[in-house]
Structure formats: C-alpha cells, structure tokens
Amino acid sequence: MKKIIIINGPNLNLLGKREENIYGRDSLEDIKEICEIKGIEKKIEINFFQSNNEGEIINKIQEVAEIYDGLIINPAAFTHSSIAILDSLRAINKPKIEIH
C-alpha cells in the first residue's frame, strides 16, 4: 500500500474557526477525515501533520524520503517566505503536490 503524508502549515489548525467567509466551515480534522476516507477507497495510507513551526515542517519533509511514497503540502503563510521549506522540498526525490 502506498503511503503519503499531507503537511499543513501555520494557522491551518484554525480552519472552521476563523474567517469562515474565506476559509469555510470545515475544520482541519474534517478535511483529514475526508482524505482518510478517499485514501481507503484508493488503497493509499494517508498521514496528516500540521505545525505552526517552520522547523517542524522541515523535519517532517525530510522524513518523506525514508518513510513515504510522496507528499501533499499546504505551507500556508510559509509559501511566500520560507526558502528553507522550498530547499527541503527540492531535496527529496518523491512525488509532491503543493496546494492552497
């Protein structure tokens, strides 16, 4: 079974609690459950990770090479400001998708 990780950046833990007119009412937990159900349907193990800390996100990305078959990342506010996250993504040779 393929194994992927979905990495979520800063403030995404507040989904469903802030600016519902922009981000909607679904919480990150709701999104996680939807992804896990889809993963089961597609025979893909889905792991979720969220952090407000850039270093923790980088550490998790570095694990991808050894543990996962690929990753999906929403770096949130770090999208525009983190060269370190970009460098860590470039350093792994696994499929990756960036979403927002």
Kindly list the catalytic residues.
23, 100
- Mapping DSSP onto H, E and C, the string for the chain reads CEEEEEEECCCHHHCCCCCHHHHCCCCHHHHHHHHHHHHHHHCEEEEEEECCCHHHHHHHHHHHHHHCCEEEEECHHHHCCCHHHHHHHHCCCCCEEECC
